Amino acid sequence: MFETLTQRFEAVFSGLRAKGRLTEKDIDQALRDVRIALLEADVNVGVVKTFLARVKERAVGEEVSKSITPGQQVIKIVHEELVTTLGSGPASLARESTVQVIFMVGLQGSGKTTTAGKLARLLKSQGRKPMLVAADLQRPAAIDQIEALGGRIEVPVLVDRRAKPPKLARDAVKEAARSGADVLIIDTAGRLQIDQALMSELAAMRKAASPDEILLVVDAMTGQDAVNVAGGFQREIGLTGVVLSKLDGDARGGAAISVREVTGAPIKFVGVGEGLEDLEVFHPERMASRILGMGDVLTLIERAESAFDEKEAEKAARRLEKGEFTLDDFLSQFEAMKSMGPLKDILAMLPGSGSLLREVDVDDRDLKRVEAIIQSMTPEERRAPKIIGGSRKRRIASGSGTTPQDVNRVLKQFADAQRMMKTLAGSRGMPSLEALTGGRRPKR
C-alpha cells in the first residue's frame, strides 16, 4: 500500500544523507517534499500540518545542529513523529468483565463481518473461547456469511433472525456466560453511509450489552472517506479502537496515517490479506519504519515463527547436521514461505529493500512453479535428485505444466541451497534470534 509514499521518502532522505551539514533552508526544502508526499498519499491536511510543525520544531533546534550526522538526525525525528501520529504503541483489548464484549461497527463493504471472523480466529489461537453474534439483521447475507466463518474456524455463532438487535445483544451476553465463552464478538449492522437510524440502533445495543470495546472497521483503500467515517462514528457513539482492513491493497494509504490522530482512537488491528489468518496487531513503530523504507524485521520474524512448525524445524536441523537436506525439505521451506504472505510483502520488510524491489521482478508464481515441479517427482527422485535424467525431466515437466529448462533451474537452486546448508551446518556459526534482533524476541 505504501510503495509510492516510501519511494518519495527514500528520495528525500537520500538528499539529506548526502549533506555534511544542514541549513534551515535544506530542512525547509526537505519538509516541503515530505508535505507533498503525504498529501499525495491522501493524508488528512490537518494531520500533515500538525506533523510537519512538530518535525520542524525539533529539526531546526540544537537536536540537529549539534549532531555529528544531521541528516540521519532529521530522519530519526521524522520517524519518531510519525510513530507519534500513528500511536505510541500496540493497543491491547480492554476487558472489564468475565465475558469480554466487542462490538464490530462500520459501513457496508468495509470488511466488518470478515474482520469479526478474523478476530475470533486470532483470539482463539491465543487460548480464548470466542463466540460470534450475527447482529447485522439488515442484511441476511451477513448472517449467512458469519455462520460460514464460524463453521470454518470452529467458533459458535449465535443467530436469531427475528430478534431486535438490542435484545439479541443482551441475550448474547447471557448465552456467552452460560456456555463458557469468555469473549463475545458482535457483528452489528452496516449502512452505505452514516445515518441516524444506524446510530440509534448502535446506541441501544451499547446500552443493552455494555461493550468493553467498540471497534470501527474502516477500509484503508477509501482514503479520506475512511477518516471522515471514523470521525462520524466517534462523534455519534464513541470508539475504543479502529481496525484497518485491506491494508494489503493497492492504494495510497493516507487513512492509516490519519485516522488515529483525527479520532483519538488507537488502531488496534490491521487486515493484511483475504485469509482468516490475515489479521495482525498494529505496531505503530513497525508501520512507521515500513513507510520510511526502514523495513520491519520483527514482524517478518513473527510471521516466520508462525509459518514454520517448530518440531519439523528441529527434525530438519538434525537431518541438516547429518548432511541430509532433501527436496522434501526444500519443498517444505517453499510452502512455509508461501504461508507468510506475498513474496513482495515479505521482501519489503527487509531494511533497504525498496530499490531492490523496483529493480527485480518478484513473482509469487515462481514459488508455485517450484512447488509443482517438486510435487511431480517420485519419492525416490526427491531423495536422490541425481537420478533425474533427460526422460525423467521431461516427465516431471509434463506433470507440472512446465519445461525441462524449468526443472533444471529448480534442481540447480536445490543444489545451491544444499551446499549452503551444509556449509552453515559445518560452521555452526549461525547467529541466534536474540542476536539478530538486538536481544529482543518479538511478542507472540
Are 135 and 243 found together in one domain? yes
Note whether residue 442 is domain-resident.
no
Note whether residue 399 is domain-resident.
yes
Are 167 and 308 found together in one domain? no
67 is written with which cell numbers? 549532531
Note whether residue 91 is domain-resident.
no
CATH code of residue 190: 3.40.50.300
Read off the pTM. Answer: 0.69
Cβ contact 392:425 at 8 Å:
no
Note whether residue 92 is domain-resident.
no
211: number of CA atoms within 13 Å, CB side? 26
Are 236 and 368 found together in one domain? no
Are 421 and 312 found together in one domain? yes
The residues that bridge with 269 in the sheet, in sequence order, are: 243, 281
Count up the domains in the chain and report the number: 3
Amino acid 352: pLDDT: 53
Are 208 and 144 found together in one domain? yes
User: How far from 307 is each of 275, 277, 373, 379, CA to CA, in Å?
Assistant: 14, 11, 22, 24
Cβ contact 225:44 at 8 Å:
no
Amino acid 315: pLDDT: 66
Amino acid 149: pLDDT: 96
Q: Which of 291, 324, 352 is the last residue of a domain?
A: 291
Torsion over CA: 152, 155, 156, 157 (sign) = negative
351 is written with which cell numbers? 531494511
Note whether residue 210 is domain-resident.
yes
Distance CA(397)–CA(377), nearest Å, equals 10
Q: Which of 60, 86, 112 is the last residue of a domain?
A: 86
Amino acid 52: pLDDT: 93
305 burial level (CB within 10 Å; 0-12, 13-18, 19+): middle
Are 168 and 261 found together in one domain? yes
Are 128 and 15 found together in one domain? no
| Full pLDDT tens readout for the chain, 444 residues | 577 788 888 888 888 877 777 788 888 888 999 999 888 888 888 899 999 999 988 888 776 666 667 778 888 888 899 989 988 778 889 887 789 999 999 988 889 999 999 999 999 999 999 999 999 988 888 999 999 999 999 999 999 998 999 999 999 999 999 999 999 999 998 887 888 888 899 999 999 999 999 999 988 877 777 788 888 889 889 999 999 988 876 556 677 788 888 888 999 999 988 889 989 899 888 888 878 876 555 666 666 666 556 666 666 666 666 666 778 877 777 777 666 666 666 666 655 555 444 444 556 677 788 889 999 999 999 888 989 999 999 999 999 999 999 999 989 888 887 777 666 555 544 444 344 344 444 444
User: How far from 217 is each of 136, 173, 315, 320, 415, CA to CA, in Å?
Assistant: 14, 22, 42, 46, 47
Note whether residue 355 is domain-resident.
yes
Are 237 and 104 found together in one domain? yes
Phi, psi for residue 183 in degrees, rounded to 5 = -145, 130
Q: Which of 272, 291, 310 is the last residue of a domain?
A: 291
CATH code of residue 370: 1.10.260.30
Are 253 and 392 found together in one domain? no
Amino acid 331: pLDDT: 79
Are 318 and 284 found together in one domain? no
Are 339 and 223 found together in one domain? no
Amino acid 71: pLDDT: 78
CATH code of residue 21: 1.20.120.140
Are 287 and 181 found together in one domain? yes
Amino acid 293: pLDDT: 73
Domain of 279 in residue numbering reads as: 100-291
